[in-house]
Chains A and B, each alone.
Chain A
C-alpha cells in the first residue's frame, strides 16, 4: 500500500513538473513572458552558458580533425594545430577560453538562480538538472585538461586522481574501496599513461557530450515549460515577450560574447599565463616541475585542500554537493533577501579563493 502511495505521489510530482497541457509551441514560446526588473540580467546568464557550450562543440569538432589521443603524439598534434594548421591557434584558443567562460557563466547562473529563488516549486527539476550540468561541466574541464599531454596536464591529473583515492581512507566499510576502484577505472593502468589518455579522451568527446546533451535537453525543456521565474519578491510591473523581444536581445548578447571571445582568442593565448616549463611535453622520467596546479575553476577547493586536513574538505564538498541537489527543499521557505545574501557570500568566497588563493596559502604556510 505504501509503495503504491509513494508511486502515486511521485507520478503526481512528475506530472506537475511536466504538465502535458502546456507542452505546445504556443504556450512554451509564443505566450512566454520575461519579467522586467533589477535582476533581469540574471536571465541572460543561462543563455550565455549555452552559447559557450555551443562554441565548445564547434571548436572541439574542428580540433578533432587533428588531435591524436596517444601519449607519443598528443603533445605534437596540439603543437601542430597551434603552429601549422590554418587558424589552428585561434580555434584552439577559442576552445580554451570558451571552456573557462562556460564554467564562469555556469557558476554565475547557479548563483543568480539561487538568489532569485528560481528553484522553487514547480522548478525543482530545472534546478536539479542545472546542478547536474554544472558537475558535468567540471568533469569536462578535468578530462580536457589532460589532453594536451604537457607537464601541467599530466601532473595535475595525477594529483587529481590521487585525491580521489585518498578519500577512501575516510569512508566506512566496503565504501572505502570505492574511490580506489574509481581511480583505477579512470586511470586504466598503474600510472597516468596511454589508457588514462584514451579514457579521458573518450569521456571528453563522447560520453560527457552525450550526457550533457541529454540533461541539457531536459533543463531547457523545463525552462520553456515553466517560463522565467518571478525573480524578485514584488511581482514585476512590466514584462516582455520571450519571442521575439527577449530572444532577439539574447542574440545580441551572444553576439557581444562571441566578439569578446574572438578578440580574446586572437590576441591573448590562453597558455601565456602559465610558466613555460609547464607547457613542455610531459617527461615521465623527469622530476615534477614546480607550480603544478589545477585550472582556476578548481582553486576554490584546491587551496583549502592545501591548507586544511583532507577530511575537512571532503566533508565540506560532500555536504555542498548533496546540499546543492536538495536546495529546492532546504530553502523552500527562505526569503529572496536571505538567498541573495548567501549567494553574495558564496560569490565573494569564490572570487577571493580564485584570485588570492595562492597568496592566502603562502600567508597561512608562513
Chain B
C-alpha cells in the first residue's frame, strides 16, 4: 500500500531516459515494441539516467509522515501531499512515469527548492504538498522525516488551504484531509462552522418557531371551528 522504494527510483530514471532520448513518453508496451536500433546510445542514456537519479533527490512519498498522521487513529495515504493517492512512483496520472517535459521541469525545480519561500508547483504534489515545500523548504522536509512533529511546528497555526477553520498543520497531525473542507476533526469543524453560520442558524430558529406557532394556532382554530359546527348541529 505504501512506497517501499527507499533510495533509487527506477521509474524516475526511466522518465529521465525518456526526456533525454525522444522528448515524448511511451507506454510500456510501446517501448517493448520499438526496435533496438542504437544499443550503445541506449546504454549511455540509461547510465545517464541512473547518474541523474542518484544525484537528484529521489521523488518519494515519505511513509514517516504517513505513520505520524496515522497515530491520530485515522487511516491516511499518500494523497495527503501527493497528486496521486498511490504516491509519486508509477505510470498513472500525477505519477512520475506519466509526466511530460514541462512537468518534469517543474518537478526538478521543486526538488531544488531546498530553502523556504520558493514558488514551487510540483506536478506530483497536491496543493498541500507544494505548500509544505514552499513554506518550509525541501531541506526541512527531509530533516523532519526523523521527527514529523517538527513539520507541524514549522507549518504554523495560521494557514488553512481548504478554509474549514482547521489549520493545515493540525490537519496533518490529525490525519485529516487538508484540502477538503468537509473533512477534519469533528468537534473543531462543528464549532468553527457553528460560529461561521450563526446568522443562518438564528434565522432558521426564528423561521421554524414562526412556522410552528402558525401551525399550532391553525390547528387550534380548526378544532374550535369543528366544535362550533358540532354544537350548532
Could you tell me which residues of chain A, from 248 to 290, have a CB within 8 Å of some CB in chain B? 248, 251-252, 255, 258-259, 262-263, 266-269, 271-273, 275-280, 283, 286-287, 289-290
Contact B76 A286 (CB under 8 A): no
Minimum C-beta distance from A108 to chain B (A)? 23
State which residues 179-233 of B face A: CB under 8 Å.
180, 182-186, 189-190, 193-194, 197, 200-201, 204-205, 208-209, 211-212, 215-216, 219-220, 222-223, 226
Give bound CA distance, A262 to B222, whole Å: 30
Please determine whether A290 and B223 come into contact, CB atoms closer than 8 angstroms: no
Q: Given the complex of chains A and B, what is the CA–CA distance between A269 and B190 in angstroms?
A: 8
Residues of B contacting A323 in the complex (Cβ-Cβ under 8 angstroms):
none
Bound-complex Cα distance A287 to B1 (A):
7
- B176 lies within 8 A of chain A by Cβ: yes
Q: How far is the CA of A278 from the CA of B75 in the complex (A)?
A: 8
Which residues of chain B from 68 to 94 have a CB within 8 Å of any chain A CB? 74-77, 79, 85-86
- Does A177 lie at the interface of the complex (its beta carbon under 8 Å from any beta carbon of B)? no
Q: A244-B219, A262-B204, A289-B75 are in contact. Are A276 and B177 (CB under 8 A)?
A: yes
Query: Count the A residues whose beta carbon is within 8 Å of the partner chain — how many?
Result: 33
Give the residue of A252, A267, A276, A291 whose beta carbon is less than 8 angstroms from that of B190: A267
A255-B209, A279-B183 as given contacts; A268 in contact with B220, CB under 8 Å: no
Q: Which residues of B contact A286 (CB under 8 A)?
A: 86
Question: When the two chains form the complex, which single residue of A244, A252, A275, A277 contacts B220, counting CB atoms closer than 8 Å?
Answer: A244
Query: Of B77, B194, B205, B226, which contacts A289 at CB under 8 A?
Result: B77
Q: Which residues of A contact B194 (CB under 8 A)?
A: 263, 267
Is A89's CB within 8 Å of the partner chain B?
A: yes
Contact assessment for B189 and A266 in the assembled complex, using a CB-CB cutoff below 8 Å: no
For A277, the closest partner residue in chain B by CB is B77
B175 at the interface (CB under 8 A from A): yes
Is A354 located at the chain interface by the 8 A CB criterion? no
Distance (whole angstroms) from the CB of A336 to the closest CB of chain B: 32
Interface size class of B (residues with CB under 8 A): 35 or more
Closest Cβ neighbor of A256 among chain B residues: B208
Question: With contacts A263-B194, A269-B183 known, is A275 near B74, CB below 8 A?
Answer: yes
Give A173-214 interface residues, CB cut-off 8 Å to B: none
- In A225-258, the 8 Å CB interface with B consists of 243-244, 247-248, 251-252, 255, 258
Contacts of B200 in A (CB 8 A): 266
In the assembled complex, the CB of B162 is this many whole angstroms from the nearest CB of chain A, namely: 11
Judge whether B211 and A255 touch: CB under 8 Å.
Answer: yes
Which residues of chain A are near B186, meaning CB under 8 Å?
268, 272-273
Contacts of A243 in B (CB 8 A): 219, 223
Give A51-105 interface residues, CB cut-off 8 Å to B: 82, 89
Q: Does A30 count as interface, using CB distance less than 8 angstroms?
A: yes
In the bound complex, residues from chain A placing their C-beta under 8 Å from that of B208 are 255, 258-259
Q: What residue of chain B has the Cβ atom nearest to residue A254's Cβ?
A: B212
- Tell which of B86, B182, B197, B226 touches A272, judged by Cβ atoms closer than 8 Å: B182
Given contacts A248-B219, A255-B212, A276-B79, contact A82 B182 (CB under 8 A): yes
A6-56 contacts to B (CB < 8 Å): 30
Decide: B215 and A277 in contact? CB cutoff 8 A. no
Question: Does the CB pair A271–B183 fall under 8 Å?
Answer: yes
Known: A244-B223, A267-B193. A276 touches B76 (CB 8 A): yes
Contacts of A252 in B (CB 8 A): 212, 216
Q: Cα distance A34–B39 when bound, in Å?
A: 93
B77 adjacent to A272 (CB under 8 Å): no
- Closest CB pairs A-B (n = 6): A267-B193, A269-B182, A275-B75, A276-B177, A275-B74, A255-B212
Which A residues form the contact surface with B (CB < 8 A)?
30, 82, 89, 243-244, 247-248, 251-252, 255, 258-259, 262-263, 266-269, 271-273, 275-280, 283, 286-287, 289-291
For this complex, 12 residue pairs linking A to B, each with C-beta atoms less than 8 Å apart, are: A244-B216, A244-B220, A244-B222, A251-B212, A255-B211, A262-B204, A263-B194, A266-B201, A267-B194, A273-B186, A276-B176, A283-B85
